[in-house]
């Protein structure tokens, strides 16, 4: 075993572990690289250390300075522990949508956490990014790391992750599979592996199906860290400078359900407890390996551990409440899905007359619930809850000035598998006539009204069933 003289020397040097049962029947050797072996528990410790050392070297971060970053969690953890060790103040801007475990870990190192929950595009003055930039301008000695555009991000992987993979496979790696968030990992490690192998190593980008990197609609997903989200009101889809598209040979798009299934299975077959983005990478790697031979060696980078997601992907209650399958919970009572009505959609900015005409042509009754959603070019899945603005009815639309002007706020979110006797439903206060959003695989596929919940069993049989 290695001995380190400081926590910083512990960053990097993660092992390769061969998949046995999960890769049964496949011809190539498949190895995972569990990046939670880093001191902060993720691949992002490498990037944080590299960016911080560069900032010290070029004078943008000086003794007594403040390290600032906008992050979905893991980069914040990396900066938090490194700043603690080196005696810098650190301030992390993030959203409460990220795993609670990551927020708690950041705070544990003594870092200040600024939670920003306004759902606005990047250049809006209230966005995470704008607030962090304002903080840096107003704080003497503050340095904003900007991982999306910082060359130190990919460099970390060019100088450490890539060489480790090459050495630990004795130069036999033929395929490298990684998810793409900022693109730092795949760009840095991928470039190194291509250079050292004279272009022989193929680099595969694994990404959530909604990510705009793989041609998705840019909508939200449940897998943290990987993929590229585009705010529905963003005027441009700006990709990170850290992402080097030339390095990526192929992409594999994976939906949330398959990624969740993959990590749940991996824990049970190989005893390896990995996070959600690891699931995306595993699905892509096993799919890639199907077409390869005994001469091939596939290396899959697993960004973080499943311990961070025990309350979500590995939690039956969460799976049921978001409409993902995999839960062992079994309800005898009628479920939400049985009383739900299939979702009808209009877009918030759609011309009112067009929306009314379309609903009339589809024979949608006056009082039928219609969801008002943000526009998404080439929508690939049903809307994510964050894309739902609220609900309306054809009757309300006819007397409104705009679609947006007729919107009522939506009520609770309920997975199709939740029993109607479940407190999640009985705790629902329908006094204001609100409408619940019904989720299947985390996407809004149906609506539920209090009237439908209270249907007599016989009448319920006639209700439109969502799945």
Closest CA to 255 of 275, 289, 279: 279
Token representation of residue 458: 């016989």
Q: Which two tokens stand for residue 455?
A: 């249907």
Beta carbons of 89 and 48 less than 8 angstroms apart? no
Q: Are 15 and 168 a contacting pair, CB within 8 Å?
A: yes
Of 185 and 406, nearer to ligand PMP (C-beta) is 185
User: What string marks each residue from 262 to 281 as x (binds ligand PMP by CB under 6 A) or -?
Assistant: -------------x-x----
* Residue 72 binds to ligand PMP (criterion: CB under 6 A): yes
Give yes or no for a contact between 243 and 205, defined as CB atoms under 8 angstroms apart: no
- Please say which residue, 184 or 232, places its beta carbon nearer to ligand PMP: 184
Hey, which residues between 156 and 215 contact ligand PMP (CB under 6 A)? 179-185
* Residue from 303, 390, 394, 419 in contact with ligand PMP (CB under 6 A): 303
**Contacts (CB under 6 A) with ligand PMP, residues 36-65:** 42, 44
Q: Exposure of 408 by Cβ count < 10 A (0-12 exposed, 13-18 middle, 19+ buried)?
A: middle
Nearest residue to 300 via CA among 313, 289, 292: 289
User: What 3-state class would DSSP assign to 273?
Assistant: coil
44 is catalytic: yes
**Residue found under tokens 């009082």:** 367
User: CB of residue 453 vs ligand PMP: minimum separation in angstroms?
Assistant: 37
Q: Which of 144, 226, 298, 397 binds ligand PMP (CB under 6 A)?
A: 226
User: In terms of DSSP bridges, do strands 89-94 and 66-70 run parallel, antiparallel, or are they unpaired?
Assistant: parallel
Least distance to ligand PMP from the beta carbon of 184, Å? 4
| Cβ-contact 368, 393 below 8 angstroms | yes
Cβ neighbors of 453 (< 8 A, separation 6 or more) are 339, 420, 425, 428, 430
Within 90-109, the residues that bind ligand PMP by CB under 6 A are none
Q: How far is the CB of 202 from ligand PMP (least distance, A)?
A: 18
Residue with smaller CB distance to ligand PMP, 165 or 435: 165
Candidates 14, 66, 74, 90; binder of ligand PMP (CB under 6 A) is: 74
Identify residues 396-455 at the interface with ligand PMP (CB under 6 A): none
From candidates 244, 255, 270, 304, binder to ligand PMP by CB under 6 A? 304
Q: Which of 424, 443, 345, 441 is nearest to 385 (CA)?
A: 443
Q: Report the interhelical angle of 74-86 vs 100-108 (nearest 10°).
A: 10
Least distance between ligand PMP and beta carbon 211 (Å): 11
- Comparing CB distances to ligand PMP, the nearer of 225 and 441 is 225
Instruction: Give start and end residues of each alpha helix (H) in 90-173.
Output: 100-108, 128-138, 151-156, 162-168
Closest to ligand PMP by CB, 147 or 322: 147
H or E segment and range at residue 185: helix 184-196
Minimum separation from the CB atom of position 187 to ligand PMP (A): 8
Measured from each CB, the residue nearest to ligand PMP is 225
Q: Name which of 72 and 160 has its Cβ closer to ligand PMP.
A: 72
Closer Cβ to ligand PMP, 239 or 450, answer by number: 239
Do 150 and 243 meet the contact criterion of CB atoms below 8 Å apart?
no
How many residues touch ligand PMP under the rule CB under 6 A: the total is: 18
To ligand PMP, the closest distance from the beta carbon of 156 in angstroms equals: 9
Closest contact distance (angstroms) between CB of 240 and ligand PMP is 8
Annotated catalytic residues are: 44
For ligand PMP, the binding residues (CB under 6 A) are 42, 44, 72, 74, 179-185, 224-226, 275, 277, 303-304
């Amino acid at each position: 075993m290695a001995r380190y003289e400081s926590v910083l020397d512990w960053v990097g040097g993660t092992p390769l572990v061969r998949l046995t049962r999960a890769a049964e029947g496949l011809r190539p050797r498949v190895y995972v690289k569990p990046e939670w072996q880093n001191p902060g528990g993720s691949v992002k410790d490498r990037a944080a250390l590299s960016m911080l050392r560069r900032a010290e070297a070029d004078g943008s971060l000086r003794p007594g300075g403040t390290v600032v970053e906008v992050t979905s969690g893991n980069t914040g953890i990396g900066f938090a522990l490194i700043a603690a060790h080196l005696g810098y103040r650190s301030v992390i801007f993030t959203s409460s949508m990220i795993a609670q475990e990551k927020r708690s870990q950041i705070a544990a190192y003594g870092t200040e956490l600024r939670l920003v929950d306004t759902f606005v595009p990047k250049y809006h003055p209230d966005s995470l990014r704008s607030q962090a930039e304002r903080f840096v301008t107003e704080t003497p000695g503050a340095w904003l790391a900007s991982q999306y555009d910082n060359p130190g991000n990919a460099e970390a992987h060019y100088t450490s992750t890539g060489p480790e993979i090459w050495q630990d496979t004795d130069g036999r790696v033929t395929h490298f599979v990684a998810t793409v968030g900022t693109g730092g990992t795949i760009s840095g490690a991928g470039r190194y592996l291509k250079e050292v192998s004279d272009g022989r190593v193929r680099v595969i980008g694994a990404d959530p199906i909604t990510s705009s990197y793989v041609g998705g609609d840019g909508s939200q997903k449940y897998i943290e860290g990987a993929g590229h989200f585009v705010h529905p009101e963003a005027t441009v889809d700006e990709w990170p400078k850290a992402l080097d598209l030339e390095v990526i040979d192929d992409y594999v798009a994976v939906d949330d359900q398959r990624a969740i299934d993959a990590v749940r299975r991996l824990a049970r077959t190989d005893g390896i407890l990995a996070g959600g983005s690891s699931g995306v990478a595993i699905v892509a790697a096993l799919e890639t390996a199907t077409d390869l031979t005994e001469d091939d060696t596939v290396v899959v980078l697993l960004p973080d551990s499943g311990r961070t997601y025990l309350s979500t992907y590995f939690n039956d209650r969460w799976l049921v409440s978001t409409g993902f399958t995999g839960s062992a919970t079994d309800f005898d009572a009628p479920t939400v899905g049985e009383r739900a009505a299939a979702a009808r959609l209009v877009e918030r900015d759609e011309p009112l007359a067009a929306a009314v005409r379309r609903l009339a042509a589809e024979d949608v009754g006056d009082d039928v619930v219609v969801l008002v959603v943000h526009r998404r070019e080439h929508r690939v899945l049903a809307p994510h809850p964050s894309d739902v603005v609220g609900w309306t009815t054809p009757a309300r639309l006819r007397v409104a000035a705009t679609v947006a002007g007729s919107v009522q706020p939506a009520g609770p979110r309920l997975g199709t598998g939740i029993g109607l006797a479940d407190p999640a439903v009985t705790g629902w206060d329908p006094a204001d006539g609100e409408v619940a959003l019904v989720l299947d695989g985390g996407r809004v596929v149906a609506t539920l009204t209090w009237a439908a919940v209270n249907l007599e069993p016989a009448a319920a049989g006639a209700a439109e069933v969502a799945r």
